[in-house]
Amino acid sequence: MTIFNIALTLLSYILGSIPFGLLLTFHFTGKDVRTLGSGNIGSTNVKRVAGFKVSLYTQLCDMAKGLIPVLTCLVLSRYYADYFSQYSIYAVALATILGHNFSLFLRLKGGKGVNTTLGASLLIAPLSVFIGVVCYFIVKYLFKYVSLGSLFLAISLPVSWSILQSANITFYYLMICTLLIIFTHKSNLKRLMDSKELNG
């Protein structure tokens, strides 16, 4: 990777680190979302604490911070192809997701990474993202748990890609995304197994 690539990847991590759920909830309600509900800064817990509107803003911002670095990388690579490799877009996407999950501004703590993963992956694997979102809504409708829907969404990303495409670098990128989402949902998995998970 060139210095240009490294700089863009670092900027993507910093952008990903911005805790929009925390900032928006505090702005609209004066509450610290980390101390209420599940304690998570993502849109699901923001909805519990601050309502649908703030949750929607959070979701859009978290998706945008995943999408914008990837879009920037795609655009720049067209005009400055010599400074980019085939791996650049994946490095930028993962940096943004890691920034959200392990925020520079929250002592390496953060959210679950689902919305940021969707935003970062939208231009990389659009059909897999669509299938993942459909799986999420079906599972959430049937079982009423956002976390379970998110886990099925995560698993569907590489599975759908492997069915529709070959096992190329995008497949391995999506596998990493899946493992990250499963990792950030480990407490949810335990609560699901103990029948103590929060609905919605």
Domain ranges of the chain: 1-119, 125-200
Q: E strands within the chain?
A: none
Looking at residue 2, its pLDDT comes to: 80
What does the pLDDT look like over 128-144, one tens digit per residue?
Answer: 999 999 999 999 999 99
What does the pLDDT look like over 85-132, one tens digit per residue?
Answer: 889 999 999 999 999 999 999 999 999 999 999 999 999 999 999 999
Low-confidence stretches of the chain (pLDDT beneath 50):
none
**Relative orientation angle of helices 186-193 and 169-184, to the nearest 10 degrees:** 60
Collapsing DSSP to helix, strand or coil, 87 comes out as coil
